[in-house]
Amino acid sequence: MNRIALFGQLPRLGFAAAVIGGAVAASAQDQPAAPLYAAAQAERGQAAYRQSCQDCHGTSLDNGEFGGPPLKGGYFRTRWGNGSVAVLYGYVSLAMPPDRPGQLSPQTYADLVAFLLSNNGYPPGARTRNRTCA
């Protein structure tokens, strides 16, 4: 099972320490300015995004209908760029999609967050295997 291991650590987006869904691990030495996630994770996130998020947030993440705010660019960065991956994950997994919040799997939410990060200029990391934090 994939335990979400990022709570309690609150890695900063700008600082590179993301452990999302147990599938991503990063250490500050690797790439100081980048949170890491596996490229494959962002790809899975893209598929999940098409299925569950695109109607409201748009095909390019900033051309949504039905009131979905842009999920990339200046607006997104202003809102989330100083926060942590954990906060973003927490928000998405608790609130999205609005018609059935929390109904996707933790892994899928993690993939979605990876997809959002990849669209906001955070590069995927080298493949890192589960790092257990406890």
Residues 6+ apart with CB under 8 A from 59: none
Can residue 53 be called a binding residue for ligand HEC (CB under 6 A)? Answer: yes
Give least dist CB 95 to ligand HEC, A: 7
Distance of CA 115 to the CA centre of its chain: 6
The type of residue at 77 is R
Can residue 38 be called a binding residue for ligand HEC (CB under 6 A)? Answer: no
Placement of tokens 């942590």 in the chain = 84
Can residue 55 be called a binding residue for ligand HEC (CB under 6 A)? Answer: yes
Q: Which two tokens stand for residue 87?
A: 């906060």
CA distance 63 to 124: 24
Our CB check for ligand HEC shows the closer of 38 and 92 to be 92
Site for ligand HEC in 92-121 (CB under 6 A): 92, 96-99, 112
Our CB check for ligand HEC shows the closer of 19 and 112 to be 112
Let me know: does 90 contact 11? Beta carbons within 8 Å.
Answer: no
Per CB under 6 A, which region of 4-12, 27-35, 61-69, 123-131 contacts ligand HEC?
Answer: 61-69
Taking alpha carbons only, the member of 108, 129, 120 closest to residue 46 is 108
Site for ligand HEC in 64-83 (CB under 6 A): 66-69, 71, 76, 79
Binding site for ligand HEC (CB under 6 A): 52-53, 55-57, 66-69, 71, 76, 79, 92, 96-99, 112
